Amino acid sequence: MKDHLLAIENLHTRLGNKQNPVRVVDGLNLTIRQGETLALLGESGCGKSMTALSMMRLLPPSGRISEGHVKLDGLDLLALSEQEMRQVRGGRMGMIFQEPMTSLNPVLRIGDQIAEAVRLHDRLSGAAVTERVVELLDAVGIPDPRRRAREYPHQLSGGMKQRVMIAMALAGRPELLIADEPTTALDVTIQAQVLNLLKQLQQETGMAILLITHDLGVVAETADRLAVMYAGQIVETADVATFFEGPKHPYSRKLFESLPDSHKRDEKLAVIKGTVPPLNQQFSGCRFADRCEQAAPRCSSEIPDWVDLAERQGVRCLIYADDPITPTLSDTAVEAETHSLSRAGDESLLDVTDLKVHFPIHKGVFRRVVGQVRAVDGVGLSISKGRTLALVGESGCGKTTVGKGILQLIRPTDGRVKFGEDELTQLKGEALRRRRADMQIIFQDPMSSMNPRMLVGEIIAEGMRAQKIGNKKDRKAKVSQLLEQVGLHADAAKRYPHEFSGGQRQRICVARALAVEPQLIVCDEPTSALDVSVQAQILNLLKSLQRELELSYLFITHNISVVSYLADEVAVMYLGRIVEQGSVEEVLESPTHPYTRALLSAVPVPDPDFERSVIRLEGDMPSPANPPQGCHFHPRCPEAVAACSVGYPAETALSETHRVRCSRIGEL
């Protein structure tokens, strides 16, 4: 085994003008051994992706490497010409980008896109290229690879598109594979498949992997070693087992405390105050000092040096400068602030019965209806005042459509939605518009849900203007109050959305939802794209607002740890129907439906010693335009029998609150 396959030495990357550059990577040192998986961990904006782009020499036009070396098996990549670098890029060093849909060419078949890389690095032609493409697609687990090679990206699921990206990266037989957040936008079941695939390919080829992520569960399950990055620098490195036994840097410790789980249900999650500092400045002290609860006066005026604690373990912190063996560390654990919300749990606010949302399939010149996409196909649920119901399931199962159908943003095809004393499906025009003040939604992507040309104050006040609430002066005062309530300064009203971080933009969306004083908020994946520290802020905010205002939440998510922390009840959805529903304890601790068990088994746990047995589901979710006969899950169910394909199972009550739809319920 070679000592180091990759060695990054004192790397400095700058963006922008030379007078006041942004120091996105500032003196970074990193090594990766052959066959090793190194996880690069940290918040958004700390420089993780810029480190990868610097290694690949794919920086944006304003970017430049001002100093340092990137050596791949002794070859200094920064000294190569662009023509020489093309042989390395995609060849000896491959990269999987974060968002496969934007990385694939939508007008080229996937086989043609993979073939480009094959021709460049394997020097093959004709039928040999086609065979190599089929071989790569087969290696990454794409079923029927010869047919799939002729399809376009939009014809593939998210998990399949990510597999195509992996196949393209493997075309040059890389010694080092850079995976930039390869599972961030994927469901836990697809995430488990992709991570398992990377492990298998690594064992077969012996390649090293640089895994960029902010998911500690993925790190614990996948990596051998990790490096924690903050504000352009590495602040801690360690073997995974050593790190999870006790992280050393105060920033690393806070990341752990920010993780939600069921044991913290009655407590506030720890948050890291403030944000990553601007990187267009010369630092005179520790970059984490302003956010660190361990900070001493010297931390603001003295730049910490790197301290080696043991072999392959080190930290950049003044706490360890004087005595690396026995540093003085105070307990940074957040004080447990109990959420003692008095709830009228029996007082129902929302009752949904047999909700259906079908979309017609048109064909031909005359746009004849030839079928229906059954996005939601008979959903029933209820939410009491001051309670949270989590709706979980894979992408494409209809979760978001349920939320929009309840709010009448999409008119249901059939079913009843009773909100208080009103049947929403019967309301129209002004009557529905007035009732909408009691129901609001927080969308998944805060940036795309706000008008970039409107000031934040105008965005928050928009609902009040539509509902004719108060005069201009009253609305302005209400906006200031709401901003303070969600933890932002009132001056934020005079700024535009692009001037805020992701977590701050989500807070603005929460303020907008609260402006009309709703009783129910539909939260559609509000934390899926956020770092754990920012996620903790939003979850704390939602929980405190629920306690103060007795709000009810329909929380749509695929993050099970968030469900265990925030929800009171859980409904598991598959292909337009709810297959299991009950209290959070019943569903998460005693899952009954085979799909629920498979979903929970795929959740990565932030503990490298935890041995889990993932129930692997074959194939992808069927199309809602042509659902399978009988139980919709039976083609993928590892426990299915012939009877499962006969008819859709009736609902079985396991307790007063726990219900499941499975033909084999008595046998399981």
pLDDT digits (tens, 9 = 90+) for 54-78: 999 999 898 999 999 999 999 999 9
Output phi, psi for 576, to 5 deg.
85, 0
Residues 6 or more apart whose CB falls under 8 angstroms from that of 350 comprise 381, 382, 383, 406, 417, 418, 419, 520, 552, 554
Q: Which two tokens stand for residue 20?
A: 């006041």
- pLDDT for res 344: 45
Span of 84-88, 477-481, 581-585 with lowest mean pLDDT: 84-88
Q: What mean pLDDT do residues 287-308 have?
A: 93
Q: What mean pLDDT do residues 176-189 have?
A: 82
Instruction: Round to the nearest angstrom and report the end-to-end CA distance of the chain.
Output: 48
Q: Which two tokens stand for residue 579?
A: 């297959």
> Are 236 and 315 within 8 A, CB to CB?
yes
Span of 25-29, 431-435, 439-443, 444-448 with lowest mean pLDDT: 444-448
Q: Which two tokens stand for residue 550?
A: 């007795």
Q: Strands 348-363 and 368-384, how do they pair?
A: antiparallel
State whether residue 374 is helix, strand or coil.
Answer: strand
Model pLDDT for residues 509-543, shown as the tens digit of each residue: 999 999 999 999 999 988 876 778 888 888 998 99
State whether residue 91 is helix, strand or coil.
Answer: coil
Q: Annotate 492-514 with DSSP letters as a single string.
A: GGGS-GGGS-HHHHHHHHHHHHH
**328 has pLDDT over 60:** no
Strand order in the sheet with 306-310: 93-96, 176-180, 208-213, 37-41, 225-230, 233-239, 313-316, 306-310
User: Could you tell me which of 265, 267, 263, 243 has the C-alpha nearest to residue 255?
Assistant: 243
- pLDDT for res 592: 95
Q: What confidence tier does 407 reach under pLDDT thresholds 50, 70, 90? A: very high
Q: What mean pLDDT do residues 590-615 have?
A: 89
- pLDDT for res 342: 42
d(CA 193, CA 166): 12
User: Could you tell me which of 148, 4, 145 has the C-alpha nearest to residue 73?
Assistant: 4
To the nearest 10°, the Cα dihedral for 72, 78, 79, 84? Answer: 70
**107 has pLDDT over 90:** yes
Q: What confidence tier does 1 reach under pLDDT thresholds 50, 70, 90? A: very low
Q: Which two tokens stand for residue 36?
A: 């090793």
**248 has pLDDT over 90:** yes
Which has the higher per-residue pLDDT, 337 or 377?
A: 377
Span of 179-183, 243-247, 562-566, 567-571 with lowest mean pLDDT: 179-183
Model pLDDT for residues 354-401, shown as the tens digit of each residue: 999 999 988 888 889 888 999 999 999 999 999 999 999 987 889 999
> Are 360 and 369 within 8 A, CB to CB?
yes
Q: How many CA atoms lie within 13 A of 384 on its CB side?
A: 12
**214 has pLDDT over 60:** yes
Which has the higher per-residue pLDDT, 1 or 317?
A: 317
Residues 6 or more apart whose CB falls under 8 angstroms from that of 453 comprise 496
- pLDDT for res 667: 66
d(CA 199, CA 208): 10
**326 has pLDDT over 70:** no
Which has the higher per-residue pLDDT, 215 or 237?
A: 237
Q: How many CA atoms lie within 13 A of 301 on its CB side?
A: 3
| CATH class label, 348-435+519-661 | alpha beta
User: Could you tell me which of 13, 46, 51 has the C-alpha nearest to residue 32?
Assistant: 51
Q: Which two tokens stand for residue 299?
A: 């931390």
**Average pLDDT score over the chain:** 89
Per-residue CA distances from 494 to 446, 514, 606 (Å)? 18, 19, 41
d(CA 508, CA 458): 11
Please state, as a whole number, how many other Cβ atoms lie within 10 Å of the Cβ of residue 394: 23
- For 83-110, b/e burial (b = at least 16 CB within 10 A) is eebeebbbbbbbbbbbebeebbeeeebb
User: Could you tell me which of 181, 137, 128 has the C-alpha nearest to residue 156?
Assistant: 137
- pLDDT for res 79: 94
Q: Which two tokens stand for residue 56?
A: 């690949």
d(CA 249, CA 5): 27
**341 has pLDDT over 50:** no
Which has the higher per-residue pLDDT, 410 or 667?
A: 410
- pLDDT for res 325: 65
Q: Would you tell me the crossing angle of helices 472-485 and 456-466 to the nearest 10 degrees?
A: 120
Work out whether the CA dihedral 615, 621, 627, 628 comes out positive or negative.
Answer: negative
Q: What confidence tier does 261 reach under pLDDT thresholds 50, 70, 90? A: confident
Q: Which residues pair with 226 in a beta bridge?
A: 39, 238
Tell me the percentage of the chain whose pLDDT exceeds 90. Answer: 58
d(CA 200, CA 184): 20
Q: What confidence tier does 334 reach under pLDDT thresholds 50, 70, 90? A: very low
Question: Could you say which DSSP state residue 618 is in?
Answer: P
**157 has pLDDT over 90:** no
Place of tokens 């770092």: 531
d(CA 72, CA 106): 33
| Residue 499, Cβ density class (10 Å: 0-12 exposed, 13-18 middle, ≥19 buried) | exposed
**340 has pLDDT over 60:** no
Highest mean pLDDT among 129-133, 444-448, 616-620: 129-133
Place of tokens 């971080």: 501
Q: Which sequence spans correspond to the domains of the chain? A: 106-171, 348-435+519-661
Model pLDDT for residues 484-495, shown as the tens digit of each residue: 888 888 889 999
**593 has pLDDT over 90:** yes
